[in-house]
Structure formats: structure tokens, C-alpha cells
Amino acid sequence: MIEIQPVINKYPKKGPIIQYGTAGFRTIAENLDHIAFRMGLLAALRSKGKGSAAIGLMITASHNPEADNGVKMIDPHGEMLEQKWESIATELANADDNLVQEELNRIVSELGIDISKPAHVFIGRDTRPSSLHLSKAAMDGVEVLSGFVKDHGVVTTPMLHYYVYSYNIGPSNEISYRENYLSRFTAAFKALRKESTKNVNYEATIDFDGANGVGAIAMHEFVSRLGNSLNVNIYNSDTTTKGKLNFMCGADFVKTNQKPPEGFAIIPNRRIVSVDGDADRVIYCYVDENGVFHLLDGDNIATLVAGYLMDLVRDSGLNLKLGLVQTAYANGNSTRYISEKLRVPVACACTGVKHLHHKALEYDIGVYFEANGHGTVLFSNNARNLITQAAADERLPDSKRQMVIRLKQLTELINSTVGDAISDMFLVETVLYFRGWSIQDWFSVYANLPNRLSKVTITDRNTIKTADADRKCTSPEGLQEAIDKIVKDYPSGRSFVRPSGTEDIVRIYAEAESQEAADELATRVCRLVYDIAGGIGAFP
């Protein structure tokens, strides 16, 4: 084993115990130096143990406030880190400085890793002021174990996932990863627009809210390639002024506050597309001619996409099993609409893309979306093969063949490695284009139940434990019973609580027949959490 102790001293352990949570390690940036360094070490070991496949390390805290940051590891197919390694990462992150060497030796011997193998680690970062420094700490970690670092600089999280995947399916020094990514999705989008449709109410103009983050940078690059296929007005693209990232804008702000983003003049009935700080989630909204705000969140995207894919599968005559995966945050009416009206099977998974992704692999075409706008579509190898064969089958009647070809083009448009706000936006725009829908048409497909997402800070969020895909709270004792009792007061009421895996808070979700009822239910459940689970600070 290589001697790492002198470098460890550069990155002394700081802050409280930290866990590899919903999306990696996340906390205030100043407590992350040692975590970034150690994840560099671990990524190098993971690469060595995976036959020198590239492993990704993304420095981002996504939707969190600018002062936070995070480190997330990406596995060889561009997917989230294998669950077993999350606990290995947690142990290494929390080991005392003088025990890190021993911990590494233990990982190497228990997993039989040949450390003489080369390691390849791709590193990317968001636009946070702390990200450059943390990415350097991660690079130090990789290099101490003689790994090769490819520094991709400022990228969206889905870009890095895609780069890792691209390298591992066919490494080449010729590839410009960025150009490859940008041109693949632009080309697929433009190809789909070549087919003319009646377009009825669809207008090819959107207002894009970049959350003052890397999504705005990526969108500028896409726009220069899109030609006149889509007019994108980019707002909230200030990535250099301190304090602006995710502030009063972006997908999380719009979804949580149920308000349009700030930073630009709203045009009635114009589609507004908001992404988050690392552009892996997307939310649509609009304000109508009466000044009323309307949200189209991950549930609306899921129903739009699953409904359209269902039609394509049926009209193409292909025998493919399609399913949708949601979480407990999915609006009750979206689930009813998709399962009862569209007859698409729906499954519920725990919060966190990794859980939804895993479940979606059970279908030929697995659509997954969290209500907060994270999601994508997965095509099994069987589905891809059937689609490719059918597209080449000249005996197929033209009407069916056209649907098969459209399905094939959609496989090119979708970034299946992970939820990708921009590829998802292209997908939504494509479905609206073929349906000929305005945003009002889309909004009127079904009505979400009014809902409220709130948060409460408690002494130790880990005292809240849940089961049944986050829908039941098993600890502290008595909390679930108390919630059940309150929910009975609200027709169509539903509420649940769970500890966030990315922020030091407990999330409270409530839905009911009216907005007033949903707000009241949320407030009452917040009060319960605050009183029973040890709330701190002022009651929100």
C-alpha cells in the first residue's frame, strides 16, 4: 500500500459524523475538505476494483444553499454508487485521521482489490465558490493512489454521469466529452422536429430559469446548436455573483414555494422551465392571463411522458412492458390518473434517484420521476433490441414503422444514466410538440390535489425512521398514530414525514382537497414533529 499519511495531514477531519445520504455527502462546505480527499482515495480504489473503469466524482450540493457543498460518486455505467459502497464510503469519511490508512488496507483486502491496477477518475464540479478547492482535494486523493484524474471542470451532474458512461462503453482519446454530449442531445431533438405535426396549440418558445448555476452555462451551449428548432430565452444565468445560486429561483424554489422564479418579467401563458443548481431536475410552470400561478412538476412530467410512450408502444405493436415509478411525494391524483385512466402500472420507491432507478429496471420501458422533478426513462436491452429490429423491418406497415422510429429517436434523446434537466426538457418539448399542446392543455389533463411541502428542524433528524417507502413513520413512538388521527379531519387528506438525506431537516408532505386544507394539515403535522421529535429554533 502506498504511504498516504503525509497527505492526510493536509486534510484533517472536521465537523460531526456524516453519512453518504440521498445523493452522496452533503453539508456546509468548510467541513468537506477531508471528505473530498477521502472520496478521491475511494474512487481510485473503486476504479481499480472495477477493472480500471472510470469512476465519477461530482462536487455539488445541487438544490442546497450556496454555502453547502457535497461529493457524490458515480459508478461505471453512469449510475449512482452501488449501495454496499455507501456504507464503505461512510466509514472511510468518518475514520479518525490516523486510522484512514488502516481503513484503506481493510477495504483492499476484504474486497480483494488489486492496487497495482491503474485507476481512472473523472471529476466535475458545479459553480459554487467552494467547488474548485474541493475538486482539488478530491484530485489529491486519486493521485496519492497513483490514479489518473480527468478534470472535467464545471459541468452539470448529468453531464458527468454521461461522460463516465461514454468512456466506459468505448474509451477514446479522440472524444471531446462535452461536444459529444451537447451534439448527441441536440441532434436527437432536431431529428424529432423534422417530422411535421399539426402543432395546433404548441409554440416553440420557452423562458429558461437557470437557477444562476451550471444549468444556465450548459443551456447557453445548447442554444448555439439548436438553430430555430426551439427559442430559449435564458434567465438567472449569473454564476459569478456570490449568493445568487438557487436564490429565489430554480426548480426547488418554484416547487417548494409554488411561485414563479424571480429574475425576469413573466409573460402570461409562456412556459417557464426551471432547473436546479446542478441541472439534474426540472420543473415547468406558467402564470395565466389572470396572474394565477400553475405548477407542472415531476408528476405532470411523468404522466405526460408515460402516457405518450404508452401510445407509441401500443401504436407500434411492440410487445413491451411499460411501468412508472414514483415516490410517496407523488400527488395522489397523478397516481390515480396514470394507473386508472392510462392503465400504466405504478410502483412506489423510497426517495432518492437510486431507489427509483433500481425499481424502473424491472420494466422494458421504466419511467421514473420524483415530484421534485428528478427523473428519466430507462429502456431495457430487450426493448432497445426490439425497437432496433422493428425499425429495420421493411415489412412493417408505414403507420407502425413511424411509431417505432419515433421510439428509437426518443432513446437517443433521453439521458438514461440519470435524471437530466435539459434532456428531460427536450423530452417534454417533444411530447408537447407531437401532441400539439400548449402548457394549458397539458395542465388540464388532470388536476393535482392541492399540496404543501414543509420542513422542520429537530435536534437529531435520524430519530425519525420510516418504512413502507417512506409512507409510515416507525420512530419516534406515537408520531405516526398522531399523524393518522389528524389526517382523518381532511377529506382526501394524506400526510407523511421523513428525514431529508441532503439537508439537516425533516420534510413534511401534506395533500388535501383545498389549498387551505393542505396548508393547515401540513402546519399541524409540522407541530407534531416539532413537539414529539424535539424541534429546535422557532416553529416555522
Nearest residue to 349 via CA among 332, 363, 370: 370
Q: Is 62 annotated as a binding residue?
A: yes
Contact 158, 417 (CB under 8 A): yes
Per-residue contact track with ligand G16, 8 to 37, x per CB under 6 A? --------------xx--------------
Verify binding: residue 128, ligand G16, rule CB under 6 A: no
Q: Least separation, in Å, of the C-beta of 246 and ligand G16?
A: 10
* Residue closer to ligand G16, measured from CB, 49 or 70: 70
Cell digits for 206?
420557452
CB of 501 to ligand G16, least distance (A): 3
Residue 351 near ligand G16 by CB under 6 A: yes
- The phi, psi pair for 3, rounded to 5°, reads -75, 115
Bond before 476 cis per omega within 30 degrees: yes
Binding residue for ligand G16 (CB under 6 A) from 209, 429, 503, 520?
A: 503
Which of 36-44, 378-386, 450-458, 500-508 is the region at the interface with ligand G16 (rule: CB under 6 A)?
Answer: 500-508
The catalytically annotated residue of 47, 52, 62, 131 is 62
Residue 40 is placed in which grid cell? 478521491
Q: Report 63-82 residues binding ligand G16 (CB under 6 A).
A: 63
CA atoms of 81 and 94, how far apart (whole Å): 18
Best CA proximity match to 409, nearest among 438, 435, 377: 377
* Sole binder of ligand G16 in the list 34, 435, 507, 524 (CB under 6 A): 507
Count interface residues toward ligand G16 (CB under 6 A).
Answer: 18
Nearest to 482 by CA among 519, 516, 533, 517: 533
Show the cell assigned to 321.
412492458
Shortest distance (Å) from residue 68 CB to ligand G16: 10
User: What is the SS3 assignment for 353-388?
Assistant: HHHHHHHHCCCCEEEEECCCCCEEEEECHHHHHHHH
Per-position x/- string for 372-411, each x denoting binding to ligand G16 as judged by CB under 6 A, each - no binding: x-x-------------------------------------
389 φψ region: left (φ > 0), alpha (ψ -120 to 50), beta (else): alpha
Is 171 marked as a binding-site residue?
no
User: Considering beta carbons, is residue 364 or 503 the nearer one to ligand G16?
Assistant: 503
For the question of residue 62 being annotated catalytic, the response is yes
Q: Which amino acid is at 105?
A: N
Amino acid making up residue 188? A
Is residue 415 part of an annotated ligand binding site? no
The CB-of-282 to ligand G16 minimum distance in angstroms stands at: 10
CB of 274 to ligand G16, least distance (A): 12
Cβ-contact 271, 286 below 8 angstroms:
yes
Q: Is 52 annotated as a binding residue?
A: no
DSSP bridge partners of 22: 24
Tell me whether residue 8 or residue 508 sits nearer to ligand G16 (CB atom). Answer: 508
Q: Cα(283)–Cα(428) distance, rounded to whole angstroms?
A: 11
Amino acid at 352: G
> Among residues 107 and 350, whose Cβ is nearest to ligand G16?
350
Least spacing, CB of residue 507 vs ligand G16, in Å: 5
**Rounded (5°) CA angle 84-86-92:** 115
Q: In degrees rounded to 5, what are phi and psi of residue 475?
A: -155, 145
Tell me how far CA of residue 246 lies from CA of 125, 357, 426, 473, in angstroms.
16, 26, 22, 30
The Cα angle at residue 308 between residues 302 and 311, in degrees rounded to 5: 135
**Distance in Å from the first CA to the final CA of the chain:** 51
* Residue 498 assigned to a binding site: yes
Does residue 62 touch ligand G16 according to CB under 6 A?
A: yes
Cβ contacts of residue 442 below 8 Å, gap of 6+? 296, 300, 304, 432, 435
The edge-to-edge listing of strands for the beta sheet with 148-154 is 25-28, 68-74, 54-59, 120-125, 148-154
Closer to ligand G16 by CB, 329 or 363: give it.
329
Smallest gap from residue 526 Cβ to ligand G16 (A): 15
SS3 call for 518: helix
- In terms of CB distance, is 49 or 250 closer to ligand G16? 250
| Contacts (CB under 6 A) with ligand G16, residues 259-278 | 276
Residue closer to ligand G16 (CB basis): 52 or 502? 502
Judged by CB under 6 A, the residue of 66, 68, 75, 280 near ligand G16 is 280
Query: What phi and psi, each to the nearest 5 degrees, are found at residue 297?
Result: -100, -165
Q: Which is nearer to ligand G16, 229 or 502 (CB)?
A: 502
> Is residue 500 a contact residue for ligand G16 (CB under 6 A)?
yes
Q: Is 371 within any annotated ligand binding site? A: yes
**Known binder of ligand: residue 501?**
yes
State which residue, 103 or 297, has the beta carbon closest to ligand G16. Answer: 297
With CB under 6 A as the contact rule, which of the stretches 229-237, 298-306, 461-469, 497-505 interacts with ligand G16?
A: 497-505
If binding is defined by CB under 6 A, does position 413 make contact with ligand G16? no
Instruction: Verify binding: residue 502, ligand G16, rule CB under 6 A.
Output: yes
Shortest distance (Å) from residue 171 CB to ligand G16: 27
Return d(Cα 237, Cα 227) in angstroms, integer. 20
Q: Residue 131, interface with ligand G16 (CB under 6 A)?
A: no
- Chain positions 446 to 465 lying near ligand G16, rule: CB under 6 A, are none
Residue 196 makes CB contacts below 8 A (sequence gap 6+) with none
501 binds ligand G16 (CB under 6 A): yes
Going by the annotation, the residues of the binding site for substrate are: 370-372, 498-502, 507
Residues near ligand G16 (CB under 6 A) are 22-23, 62-63, 276, 280-281, 351-353, 370, 372, 374, 500-503, 507
- Residues flagged as binding site for Mg(2+): 62, 276, 278, 280
Residue numbers annotated as active site: 62
Binding residues: 62, 276, 278, 280, 370-372, 498-502, 507
